[in-house]
Chain A
Amino acid sequence: MTTQPTPAPIGRLSGTVWLLALVPFILLGVVLAYIVATGGGLTELAGPPIEKISITRITLPQPGMIQVEVINDGPQEVTIPQVLIDDAYYYFTAEPSTTIPRLGRATFTIPYPWVEEETHAVVLITSLGATFDGEVAVAVETPAPSFNLFTQFGLVGLYVGVVPVGLGMLWYPFLRRIGARAMIFILALTVGLLVYLAIGTWLDANEFALELPAFWQGVPLVIFIALLTLGVLLAVGSVRKGQETSPLGIAYHIAMGIGLHNLGEGLAIGAAFALGEAALGTFLILGFTLHNITEGVGIVAPVVRKNPGLRHFLLLALIAGGPAILGTWIGGFAFNPVLATIFLAIGVGAILQVVWEVGKLVVRDSAKVGLPFVNWVNLGGVVVGIALMYFTAFFVKF
């Protein structure tokens, strides 16, 4: 480079300086063009073609029909000339084409007489003979949106989210009448429950993330979104210049975090119904109702000193429990693993932030009554909070 460094006035960049910024870009273009045009002298390293696709969704829209949705997350174009169901080549159609460009999608429709409540194996074979497997674990017709089903899914969400959270909040009058130490215990219990939820939501997010096509980089995506959410919420909190978040504000934060967690639970339940694993049915719903009742306690714990009024309680219950309804609808009718991953990752960040806030309350209140930073009361609370969530989860984990 022969250009002389020109001293630019501070605070303003001249055109020449911007030109300097462009130099690497221009050279980058030249290098790329060279490699594309000539192979960059790497012909010896040019390996055999790599074919990679992900089966994103398998649905059974009607009797005698299987639909397989595919995304090409490999480095190059892939052609799927044949489809096997249960180890048999079968007639099919492909939309838009059997040839899928990188990051492109295709839907394969196979007129296969699938058998109710049995398992079916789907294999897509590429033009070079590589195979990609999918499975219909329990064959049931994929629910098509109907008013009836919409209502039923809504009810499921209601039982799993709004009802237990609301019931848990009914402990509020009791909490108002307990002593300072007991209140520290309840707040610590809230921290424990939130820690449990943060870990659970984190694991759920990763479960979806691992299924995503490679280019999404699912697990790092979850980490970054969770950290970003935590950062934004902490930054928003600090804008108020040292003024602490009001107890009602904390309650709303908790409700939001729990809401995102319950959205994830709704998604899982809706998707399970859609995938024919609804046999869990009433038992699962009972389990979730029990499991989630503690969440209500956590939400109202910060506001025991000042009753915010019925309107706020209803709103809090809706924010924390309502997303379960939404999740069940989305999971049942239009499941999208990318959005599911993102929502759950946001949930992780949001819950971590309230762990921080409620944790500060616990520490402050402990100090007020002369208890040390870690004491048997708050440690006991955390442990009981985690244990409650852990053992009630026995009803919902399979």
Chain B
Amino acid sequence: MSASPTSTPTAPTPVPHTVGDQALTPMPGMTHSSMREMLVGAVDHSQNGFDPMQMLVDWDYGTLAGETQDGRPIRKYGVSAGDIEIEIAPGIFFPAWAYNGRVPGPSIRCNENDHLRIDFANFGTHPHTMHFHGFHRAEMDGVEGEYRGAINPGESFTYEFDADPFGCHLYHCHAAPLKRHIHKGMYGAFVIDPLAGRAPAREFMMIMNAFDTNFDGGNEVYAVNTVGHEFMRRPIPIKVGELVRIYLVNIVEFDLINSFHLHAHFFNYYDTGTTLEPTLRMVDTIMQAQGQRGILEFRPRYPGRYMFHAHVSEFAELGWMGFFNAVSEADYPAALAEVGLDEEWDFKSLNGATPRETEGS
């Protein structure tokens, strides 16, 4: 676990400053830029129980539970729904509904053709479901009112299907009212690795999400991985020249589109991740509607801090804005330490692909 650089979760103390064209005295916890256009203070990730920085690299591969009759691995996942209060921006708390006590829920990852069993239990106060994007039988679609339908509080159900097609997918609750269940936090990434494999890369999972804190049908805080402006305060360490791959999902409610723009670089884009060849080459901005997702690949060319954000300025200024920190091999340990990360995070980011059970299992 990594704590925030300085933890001042509540009242920010007044800092002397000058205005006009003079730079401000950097505020506490803001070590990387003198930008004024951002949230003040830092979120207590240990109190939340999850850290957006760890969520970038934290995959749930489930546990292997034997093989199917035709010899494919069976993966079992445990997911529980519950009510939880989370700090989505410094000092702003949101009454969320969550899978496994985190928003977004666990990033479920597996190999193409694996047989999946997702044991879902509802410990919350409202009926919930798990609706996966992917091929499956209607009985496993996780829609309220159809087949097994909503899983009531205190009940459980096992969703069972084959991992198909490979790609960058998502799952979310499909209980009514849909808007409320989604914007309260019931969603997660669902990544199926192709049997052919992808080139080794430093991989990150980013879910573009948002929160309507006053329940007026519009979002007050936007982010990737829940906490607004977190990656402004803590730039994501990457190395110059290496392949960086982002599994990007948009689940933002109420707004018609969201987008991802990377500064000073161009990337290849694999819409929905269901192909091994890019569907879009050499772009620096892509657009996603709700539920749309894809894979981005780029190589940092020069060292330095590069912004990434929604090219919907409003979302960027409301929290959906961050930095990559591209450094040389030699500077990498320092870049990790600067944002409270260790070698384990480095290892996980480089080894995201689902382990292959080549020998034994």
Contacts and interface: CB of A to CB of B under 8 A. Distances in A.
Contacts of A81: 10-12, 40-41, 89-92
B233 interface: no
B275 to A, nearest CB: 37
Interface stretch (B285-293, B314-322, B349-357): B314-322
Nearest first, the 4 closest Cβ-Cβ pairs linking A and B are: A81-B91, A129-B213, A88-B317, A93-B14
A90 B19 CA distance: 14
- Looking at chain B's contact residues, the main secondary structure is loop
A93 B92 contact: no
Contacts of B24: 91, 111
A63 B38 CA distance: 20
Interface string A88-132: 111111110111000000000001000000000000011111110
A392 interface: no
Given A91-B24, A91-B38, A130-B214, A82 B92 contact: yes
Contacts of B12: 81, 93-94, 98
Contact of B229 (A65, A83, A89, A111): A89
A82 B19 contact: no
Interface string B7-38: 00011101101011000100100000000111
B214 A89 contact: no
A126 B318 CA distance: 15
Interface of B: 10-12, 14-15, 17, 19-20, 24, 27, 36-41, 89-94, 211, 213-214, 216, 220, 228-229, 314, 317-319
Contacts of A64: 19-20
Given A89-B38, A90-B37, A99 B92 contact: no
A79 interface: yes
Contact of A89 (B14, B17, B228): B228
A62 interface: yes
A83 B11 CA distance: 12
A218 to B, nearest CB: 25
B19 A79 contact: no
A44 interface: no
A127 B91 contact: yes
Contacts of A88: 37, 314, 317-318
B20 A63 contact: yes
A89 B39 CA distance: 5
B92 A129 contact: yes
Contacts of A97: 11
Contacts of B229: 89
A339 to B, nearest CB: 29
Nearest to A84: B318
B49 to A, nearest CB: 18
A37 B115 CA distance: 58
A128 B93 contact: yes
Given A130-B213, A131-B214, A125 B19 contact: no
B96 to A, nearest CB: 11
A129 B14 contact: no
Nearest to A95: B14
23 contacts: A62-B19, A79-B91, A81-B11, A81-B41, A81-B90, A82-B39, A82-B89, A87-B318, A88-B318, A89-B39, A89-B40, A91-B36, A91-B40, A93-B12, A95-B14, A98-B10, A111-B24, A111-B36, A125-B92, A127-B91, A127-B93, A129-B92, A129-B213
Given A87-B318, A93-B17, A129-B92, 11 more contacts: A65-B19, A79-B11, A81-B11, A88-B37, A89-B37, A89-B39, A89-B228, A93-B12, A97-B11, A125-B92, A131-B213
B10 A111 contact: no
Contacts of A93: 12, 14-15, 17
